Structure 1
Amino acid sequence: MKPKLRKSWLLLHVISSVGWLGVTIGMLVLALAAFDAPQLYQAMSLLGDLVVLPLALTALVTGVVLSLGTKWGLVKHRWVLVKFVLTVIAVIATTFSLRSGLHEAAGGVVAAGSDVLVACCVSLTLYTFNTVLSVFKPWGRTRWG
């Protein structure tokens, strides 16, 4: 991949990943506040559908493009492979679990509020761990590297 193209993909990847992390922090704050103001779940539901999912998919796609188009490869280094697997898990969980929990909470299902809070905490931990992997690049090469 040529340097300008790589930097463009990298920029899009960083923006979408940081955006995903930032919206998750905002969702965590809203999930805490929603225990006293349940109408906030409606805003969280909109964020989940219109912001979180597109950011998650963009981060996944740009990450795959970068891994395949650079020296890191998708399966050459353990940190890239782990980050990819965790991102796929996060996208699936966001699509099928977090969003449905947000819709239930927005619809007035009281028990869904604690599930949403837990999902936000797990998501934040996962995205933070992925960020650490991107910075420190631990563990060396895989057997395919």
Structure 2
Amino acid sequence: MASCSVRRWRQLALWLHVTTSVAWMAQALAIFVLLTTSLTTDSQAVAVSATSMAQVLDGRLLAPMANASAFTGFMLAAATGWGFFRYRWVLVKFVITLTQLHLGIFVLSSALADSATAAATGTRGPAVPLAVGSALMAGAIAFQAWVSVAKPWSTTRWMPEDRRQVAGTAPRWVFVATVVGVAADLTIAGLLGHPAPLISLAILGTWLVLRRRQSHTSGHAGGSPALR
């Protein structure tokens, strides 16, 4: 019964990861459409409206969905035997996600504000590279979806030679916390109008610390660090 409950909560966390990833890609495509509209229209009012709406979508939908997708993906890797570095396809997804988060937080958001200001003055500003970047973002998410299904490539050098040393599935509370954390942070983002994934970060950090301590304890005891 306990293992069945763990499986159900794990499946719910996986469902959240898939749906938020699809939402992330959908918003990236929507921003691409809005930015290309601002570039091709002859109406300054339409250009201003399109870039302003792209900025709203980025702050209220794309960023919260991106944070939720990344958090659930990281938790599924940390709370199961997949890990972050044992399989090449997981490592590729991990690197792509970190890159997208960095570009989205430090490049896309501020550039969208500059683009909206430029559109109000009748110039294009950074709309062209932003449109290309949003299309590439959607394409990268689609590629990650294929990687998740196909699971190509072999294991990395960080995979233990004895597979029994690989940690098993985490306790149920980890997946419950993952689901609750996503719901809480999305609610906070909706109320604030911008993402604030503090709860998700706290949950991820707590589990990584606990997992490391349990792994060291099991290693010193000479047994398998399974967390089932």
Match of 1:129 in 2: 143
1:38 is the counterpart of 2:38 = no
Structure 1 runs, 4 residues or longer, greater than 4 Å off: none
* Greater gyration radius: 2
Match of 2:153 in 1: 139
1:12 is the counterpart of 2:16 = yes
Higher relative contact order structure (alpha carbons within 8 Å, sequence separation ≥ 6): 1
Match of 1:107 in 2: 117
Gaps of 5+ in 1: none
Provide, for residues 72-91 of structure 1, a one-character-per-residue CA deviation record: whole Å limited to 9, x for no partner: 11111110011011001001
> Is the Cα contact below 8 Å between 1:86 and 1:126 reproduced in 2?
yes
1:59 is the counterpart of 2:63 = no
TM-score by length of 2: 0.61
| Partners of 2:148 and 2:86 in 1: CA distance | 14
| Partners of 2:81 and 2:154 in 1: CA distance | 13
What's the CA shift for 1:94? Answer: 0.5
1:77 is the counterpart of 2:81 = no
Match of 1:98 in 2: 108
Provide, for residues 54-84 of structure 1, a one-character-per-residue CA deviation record: whole Å limited to 9, x for no partner: 1111111100100111221111111001101
Provide, for residues 19-50 of structure 1, a one-character-per-residue CA deviation record: whole Å limited to 9, x for no partner: 00111111111111111131200000011111
3-state DSSP of counterpart to 1:38: helix
| Partners of 2:8 and 2:104 in 1: CA distance | 32
| Partners of 1:126 and 1:6 in 2: CA distance | 25
Number of equivalenced pairs: 145
What's the CA shift for 1:141? Answer: 0.9
